[in-house]
Amino acid sequence: MTVTFYGCPAGLGNRFEELALLSKFALQNEITIDYYWNNSFELKYKPIFKAKNINIKEVSNLKKWPTKEFESSRYWREYISKEDIEFNNNITIKNNYPTPQEKYISIHVRGTDRIKNKGTNFHPAFQTIEDVDYCLKEIHRELKKNSNNLKIAIFSEDTLMINKLKKELAEFDILSLPRIKNLEKIYEDFYYIANSEKLILCSKFSTFSLSAAMIKNIGVLKFFNYEDPSLKRWRNNYETSKSLENLITQNSQKSEFYKNKQMIKIGNNFINSFLIDLKIIQNISLLISLNNSSYYGVEEHIKLVNHKVEILMMNLSLFKNQLHTAWTIIKNEKNRKTKIFNLINETRKSIKIFGFKSFFTKCKKIKLNNKNFFIYGEAEKFIEEYTDLVKHDLFLGAVLVNINSNLCEDIINLLKKIDPLNKISFEIKENEVEKSNGYIYLYKN
């Protein structure tokens, strides 16, 4: 099976991000993706990457983007595009360029359109000149502690910022790296950052430099904590420096449960998502949803991963939910015509994913019919009505949401009573979006 995907016409970091997520998806699903490297608009680069299960082709005459291909699909927009970007060996640079003769530390700073006035409301990836000055002070402190006495190499798309850093860091040994023949300047910077000993970010955030660091998994020293979901998705090899108060590592220690298992994030990272063993999702035939909220992306994503799953909506009629949303738009919002049109299109896609029966009806009675099943939804509802399901031989697991300390204790005590042989294990997790409400993940050993 081959899928067509027209890539975004934005910067190099955004294109690397797409390739990283698409290659992971293609490998998991044993498909091939024809990725069209989009040079149809203002930003034009030659494609120099290789990616597993991806055929990279250049397109320079695309008049409209996005197209109706995979990049416009619900699957990509809502789920795959919002997954974490992590190091793997899926993407490489396809040509062998000269290896730098000296070891050095890279320092990268974004300028031009990324510098905003202090106090203005802007995207969390942007920065003020005060942010850059703060980074420079921390870099001074870090370089003075550098026991290896490595040289530094400065990179930026902004000549003024390069000159500023050279002036501020003049006391250190600044390396001038040779030009690489027949290689665009942006790729030359990318290649040299990737081949350095370490990257120091003299910026709040940069997909370009984080992509360069990730392709060979070099350490990254940063001076800001990434709280925004769009930033914290980048799971680089961040280094911790005890002398820097604002440096917070993103490297979390995984429990024994996650070893030798292929975990997948189900749901939307920006709304609600949960780590679940992919094999469990692939093996279930029935999803019992105890969901009470208007967000049903978790059920939808499970159905997209395993299209054979039957979904029983126990507490929520998706059809009534969409009618309520439509009425809210008509009654309260501007641009009603456009929003209703978009809602109708999204509803059509949801009906296609869920199936007619699951979308239009609320289930009154659970019929297992010899099907392996998984439970998702409100922890409180589970405790009130559905705990006996865990005893069933066909039960494979559950994600129970909106867990507070009292509910968590109640569920653990229930498991002790209904599962004396410890066939069911559990993981208690914090919800990354809503810190106050965590979730508990039950799974059969």
CATH number at 436 reads 3.40.50
**Number of folded domains that form the chain:** 3
Token pair listed for 441? 């993940």
Whether residues 384 and 268 fall in one domain: yes
Q: Is residue 411 part of a domain?
A: yes
Note the Cα 137 to chain centre separation in Å: 31
Q: Which two tokens stand for residue 24?
A: 């992971």
Structural domain for 232, as ranges: 104-238
The answer to whether residue 261 sits within a structural domain is yes
Picking from 99, 86, 108, the residue whose alpha carbon sits closest to that of residue 215 is: 86
Last residue within a domain, chosen from 204, 238, 272: 238
Q: What is the pLDDT along the chain (445 residues), one digit of tens a residue?
A: 899 999 999 999 999 999 999 999 999 899 999 999 999 999 999 999 999 999 999 999 999 999 999 999 999 999 999 999 999 899 999 888 888 989 999 999 998 777 887 766 677 888 888 889 999 998 998 888 765 688 999 999 999 999 999 999 999 999 999 999 889 999 999 999 999 999 999 998 999 999 999 999 999 999 888 878 888 899 999 985 443 333 333 333 344 555 567 888 899 888 888 888 999 999 999 999 999 888 899 999 999 999 999 999 999 889 998 998 899 899 888 888 888 998 898 899 999 999 999 999 899 899 998 999 999 999 999 988 998 899 899 999 999 998 877 788 888 888 888 888 888 888 887 765 555 567 888 988 7
233 and 133, same domain (yes or no): yes
The whole-model pTM stands at 0.80
Is the residue at 326 inside a domain?
no
Residues 193 and 310 in one domain: no
> Of the residues 206, 238, 270, which one is the last residue of a structural domain?
238
Distance CA 198, CA 38 (A): 30
- Could you give the dihedral angle defined by the CA atoms of residues 280, 284, 290 and 293, in that order, rounded to the nearest 10 degrees? 70
**CA-closest candidate to residue 434, choices 403, 408, 391:** 403
Both 134 and 263 in one domain: the answer is no
Q: In this structure, is residue 46 part of a structural domain? A: yes
Distance in angstroms (rounded) separating the CA atoms of residues 194 and 137 = 24
In a domain, 298, yes or no: yes
The amino acid present at 89, given as its one-letter code, is: N
Rounded to whole angstroms, the Cα distance separating 136 from 176 reads 20
Please identify, among 93, 116, 138, the residue that sits at the C-terminal boundary of a domain. 93
On whether both 33 and 140 belong to a single domain, the answer is no
Place of tokens 């870090």: 142
Q: Assess whether the previous peptide bond of 66 is cis (omega < 30° from 0).
A: yes
> What is the distance, to the nearest Å, from the Cα of residue 324 to the centroid of all Cα atoms in its chain?
30
Structural tokens at position 382:
């589970």
Residue 405 lies in a domain: yes
Instruction: Please tell me whether residues 51 and 149 are part of one structural domain.
Output: no
Q: Are residues 399 and 420 in the same domain?
A: yes
